[in-house]
Chain A
Amino acid sequence: MTDPRRIKPPMGPDNGWWWDMAAAGKLGIQRCAGCQTLRHPPTPMCGDCHSTQWDTVEASGAGTVCSYTVLTHPQFPGYQYPLIIILVDLAEGTRLTSQLVDCEPENVEFGLPVEMIIQEDPDGFKLPVFKPAGAA
């Protein structure tokens, strides 16, 4: 069980929607309304066409491990160790940093197919994390 003292990210009018989607069990991606480029994390402006107009799409949740690290030291309260942090290439083309669960540290590898699941902390905070694709 994860300790409720996980450090909470800032959530405001410009990125709160992403956490609202997570709370609803969905993984969101921001889409530029000017050039349709997908981007993550949510930012005020498109890095390609500089448009500040955007909407959102729901990701399939499928991706592959682009990079990973297994954390053992130092340890912050609120997290379970060893903690597997992964950089995921989503099927849609954007990347996000997340956590790999339901996987032993020795089994994580580059290119590992993963799928998103929603993890709920004891305090009700919901966070999209990933597990190996097809794992129970």
Chain B
Amino acid sequence: MRDVYLIGIGQTKTTKNAGIRGRYLAADAIEQALESAGLERDRISMLVTGNMMSGMLTQQQQLGALIADVVGLRGIEAATVESACSSGAAAARWAFMGVAGGFHDAAIVCGIERMTHAGREDITAALATAADWELEGCKGESFISLNAKLMKLYMEAYGVTAADFAHFAITAHDNGYTNPNAFLQKQIDFDTYMNSRMLVDPVKLFDAPPVCDGAAAVILACEDVARAAARSGLPLIKVAGSAIGTDSLALAERVDQLQLSGVALSTKRAFAQAGVSKDDIDLFELHDAYTIITSLSLEAAGFAEKGRGVHFGKDGEIALDGKLPISTMGGLKSRGHPVGATGVYQLAETYMQLTGTAGANQVPGAEVALIQNIGGTGATVISHVLMAA
């Protein structure tokens, strides 16, 4: 297996109903990534797109070949990978295998989602296909209701209240405020969080991520290509770990409702591959789709004891200058959650952190990062470990 490096990134500002077509968003992100990598497009021989809902919401599939054509790469190997909200990182995992396995020297990963042009009912129904349709979706469960179920159980089991989750949302918005690509580029305080509209009790508006459109791209390459394209002054960023862990789609099928086994498996595999432990991690770009998922992820990934995840970071540990910064560019809450693109935004943002180019959001001295993208309520969990080489 060859070493794989992340050598270029591109991101569009997450938007709402700008009427911009998906192919245009994707082309924008990919052009930025090629320019950022300083790579000629003829070095690229693979494109993997991550997307969840294009077929349902825009009547368009086969985004791999479509986007390859639009960006002047007609003919190369291209296909789409789907794993709900983790489609973006799944695409990165596939491209990683393509480069690590020696099939390709340089591959583009493009996460893309357009949803705000559709009606709320259509979006909700499309998102619900990430749950187990036979066991959950057809009963009327939505993604908000499934997370509400987890949050309610967590509060009951560990004797905590909704107020205990506030710091996750506040920190995400603090960071998103200074990220020019963020969708909700605004800060919130405790009262705003507590008084936000109740969606499905106990999940409030600021526990949940906003619906938005966006595309992000990263370029993965073998060592030869990475060294040739290296920019002076910027460290090479190695993809030291790349792993997927899975779990049942339906919550009902899990013996322990409050254990994200997919997170535990995926983290363990990525750490083993990278030869690191949790103590080596300088920042954790986690999948903060809902504040409850933040708590459960911190626990399952090993950063907090079971039942203590919700308290993690109350003393500032998760801030940019804390011991384990999370959601460093705003996370899903503030940067936004353009579903199939989210995992690629996370990788692009982490590249900025490790190359010292994150501007106002820079985590001081960040060298090793864990990035986690979750499909559904933990059914597909994809972890990457990026490291400044």
B interface residue count range (under 10 / 10 to 19 / 20 to 34 / 35 or more): 10 to 19
Complex interface: stretch among B20-28, B141-149, B257-265? B20-28
Are B70 and A10 in contact, with the CB atoms below 8 A? no
B69 at the interface (CB under 8 A from A): yes
Q: Which one of A12, A46, A47 lies within 8 Å of B24 (CB-CB)?
A: A12
> How many residues on chain A are close to B (CB under 8 Å)?
15
Asked if B74 lies at the interface with its beta carbon under 8 angstroms from chain A, I say yes
A13 proximity list for chain B (CB < 8 A):
18-20, 24
> A14 touching B20 by the CB < 8 A rule?
yes
For residue B225, CB closer than 8 A to chain A, the reply is no
Main secondary structure of the interface of A (DSSP, over half): loop
Q: Are A47 and B21 in contact (CB under 8 A)?
A: no
Q: Is the CB of B21 within 8 A of A45?
A: no
In the complex, chain A residues whose CB is within 8 Å of the CB of B41? 50
Contacts of A10 in B (CB 8 A): 19, 21, 58, 117
Using CB atoms, name the residue of chain B closest to A49: B72
Pick the residue among A15, A46, A47 that contacts B74 (CB under 8 A): A47
Residues on the A chain within 8 Å of B3, using CB: none
Q: Mark A57-74, 1 if CB is under 8 A from B, else 0.
A: 000000000000000000
| CB-based contact A14/B21 at 8 Å | yes
Q: A6 → chain B, closest Cβ, in Å?
A: 13
Name the CB-closest residue of B to A11.
B19
B26's nearest neighbour on chain A, judged by CB, is A44
Interface presence of A52 (CB below 8 A): yes
Q: Of B19, B28, B58, B59, which is within 8 A of A44 by CB?
A: B28
- A45 near B20 (CB under 8 angstroms)? no
Q: With an 8 A cutoff between CB atoms, is A16 at the interface?
A: yes
Q: How far is the CB of A39 from chain B (nearest CB, A)?
A: 11
Contacting pair A45 B27 (CB below 8 A): yes
Given A10-B58, A50-B72, residue A43 in contact with residue B19 (CB < 8 A):
no
Chain A residues near B21 (CB-CB < 8 A): 10, 12, 14-15
Q: Once the chains bind, are A45 and B19 in contact (CB under 8 Å)?
A: no
Measured between beta carbons, the chain B residues less than 8 angstroms from A12 are: 18-21, 24
**Cα distance A112–B27 in the bound complex, in angstroms:** 37
Q: Which residues of A contact B28 (CB under 8 A)?
A: 44
Judged by a CB distance under 8 angstroms, whether B71 is at the interface is yes
- The residue in chain A whose Cβ has the minimal distance to the Cβ of B69 is A47
Q: Which residues on B sit within 8 Å (CB–CB) of A43? A: 23, 27, 70
B271 to chain A, nearest CB (A): 40
B67 to chain A, nearest CB (A): 10
Contact B74 A44 (CB under 8 A): no
Q: Give complex CA distance A50, B72 in Å.
A: 6
- Taking the closest CB of chain B, its distance from the CB of A65, in whole angstroms, is 25
Give the CA-CA distance A1 to B48 in the complex, in Å: 44
CA of A52 to CA of B27, assembled, Å: 10
Whether, in the assembled complex, B132 has its beta carbon less than 8 Å from a beta carbon of chain A, the answer is no
List chain A residues, Cβ under 8 A from B23.
Answer: 43-44
How far, in whole Å, are A28 and B24 apart by their CA atoms in the complex?
A: 19
Q: Please, could you name 19 A-B residue pairs with CB atoms under 8 Å apart, sorted by A?
A: A7-B59, A10-B19, A12-B18, A12-B20, A12-B21, A12-B24, A14-B21, A15-B21, A16-B19, A43-B70, A44-B23, A44-B27, A45-B27, A46-B72, A47-B72, A50-B41, A50-B72, A52-B27, A52-B31
Shortest Cβ-Cβ A-B pairs, 10 listed: A12-B19, A44-B27, A50-B72, A14-B24, A12-B20, A12-B21, A44-B24, A10-B21, A43-B70, A45-B72
* 16 additional A-B residue pairs with CB within 8 Å, beyond A11-B19, A45-B27: A7-B59, A10-B19, A10-B21, A10-B117, A12-B18, A12-B19, A12-B21, A14-B20, A14-B24, A16-B19, A43-B70, A44-B24, A45-B70, A46-B72, A47-B72, A50-B41
